[in-house]
Amino acid sequence: MGIELRHLRCFLAIAEEGNLTRAAVRLHLTQPAVSRTLAALERHLGARLVDRTTHRFALTPEGRAFHDRAAAAVAAFDAAADPELLRRRPLRLGHAWSAFGPYTTPLLRRWQQAHPDTPLELLRIDDRTAGLTRGEVDAALLRGPVDAAGLATVELVAEPRVAALPADSPLAARASLTLADLAPETAILNPVSGTTTLGLWPPDSRPTATLTVANTDDWLTAIAAGRGIGVSAASTAEMHPHPGVVYRPLTDAPPVPVLLAWRDAAPHPAIPALEELARTIAHEHGAGGSGS
């Protein structure tokens, strides 16, 4: 048996709905038909994709790995078969937070002037690769190291790090801070799309308490509520101001690289022009990076 598009769509519906019955309703199929399609796909791949028992329904490690590939394949097919996109294919640029920082507006404006026939769509997606590995975007502005397979990256700028503090914190009265100043506080971390981990601190002076959140909005809310402190790139202060949060420079933290990333296989034809414009804007503002 060969894999067909219907097998991929069925698997994605199951993964997203978390239930065979709901997936069947979404696909306008019977539940036995969905079960047979999933079983056929698993036989072809030689791996169990979904752990389904009376009390549990979740993707297996193999299922999670296959999910991104299946989503990218379906997205690529849908884009190729869309007649509107064929006539006027946009360039979808993902980001998880802060986009291109202070260079975001110049990038969008100058792209529109130089490439009016290729709309540049900026999409915020709370994911480590901002939807790139899932095929939801054509390129992405990412921060920190990226180890996903099949991606090409180029460093555009390096941003200094800042501490994000509750506005009424005693630390907010200081002009700048060090990592040691933050160690006694609860560290609020975003493992979904953030760049800060406890590894940022030396092993002998790390925060002993942490709180995890799923996105930048929840991160800001938790800090403003006085539940802890955060560390981020400097552009966060400009792109995400909050009345309950104060940002202060961190003098001893390494900078955060801002990367332009895209898939190696069949990239959007406008990627070279986007890279050139992003580099030009960064250079004009006294910043720069290197390819990788």
- 290 part of a folded domain: no
- Residue 266 in this model has a pLDDT that exceeds 80: no
Residue that finishes a domain, picked among 49, 81, 113: 81
Per-residue pLDDT tens digits for 206-243: 999 999 999 999 999 999 999 999 999 999 999 999 99
Per the structure, the count of domains in the chain is: 3
The pLDDT of residue 107 = 97
CATH number at residue 15: 1.10.10.10
The pLDDT of residue 288 = 54
The pLDDT of residue 292 = 44
> CB–CB of 163/177 below 8 Å?
yes
Spatial separation of the C-alpha atoms in residues 210 and 145, rounded to whole Å: 22
What is the average pLDDT across 127-134?
91
Confidence of residue 291 (pLDDT cuts 50, 70, 90): very low
| Same-domain status, 93 and 38 | no
The pLDDT of residue 86 = 45
| Same-domain status, 170 and 245 | yes
- 291 part of a folded domain: no
| Same-domain status, 271 and 150 | yes
| Same-domain status, 221 and 179 | yes
| Same-domain status, 274 and 138 | yes
- Residue 11 in this model has a pLDDT that exceeds 80: yes
Residue that finishes a domain, picked among 61, 81, 101: 81
The pLDDT of residue 285 = 75
Give the 3-state secondary structure of residue 116.
Answer: coil
User: In 88-228, which residue ranges form alpha helices assigned H by DSSP?
Assistant: 104-114, 179-182, 216-224
Other Cβ atoms closer than 10 A to 107: 23
The pLDDT of residue 289 = 53
The pLDDT of residue 84 = 56
What is the average pLDDT across 24-48?
91
| Same-domain status, 154 and 267 | yes
Domain around 114: 88-158+256-284
- Residue 205 in this model has a pLDDT that exceeds 60: yes
Residue that finishes a domain, picked among 81, 98, 120: 81
Which helix (H) or strand (E) element contains residue 59? Answer: strand 57-59
| Strand pairing class (161-166; 151-159) | unpaired
Spatial separation of the C-alpha atoms in residues 252 and 216, rounded to whole Å: 23
Is 0.85 surpassed by the pTM of this model?
no
| Same-domain status, 23 and 139 | no
Which residue has 């959140």 as its token pair?
Answer: 213
The pLDDT of residue 197 = 95
Contacts of 146 (CB under 8 A, 6+ apart): 128, 129, 153, 259, 261
What are the distances in angstroms from CA 240 to CA 124, 148, 180, 186, 232? 13, 27, 25, 21, 11
What is the average pLDDT across 90-99?
94
- Residue 147 in this model has a pLDDT that exceeds 90: no
> CB–CB of 258/289 below 8 Å?
yes
- 289 part of a folded domain: no
Weakest-pLDDT range from 56-70, 77-91, 139-153, 275-289: 77-91
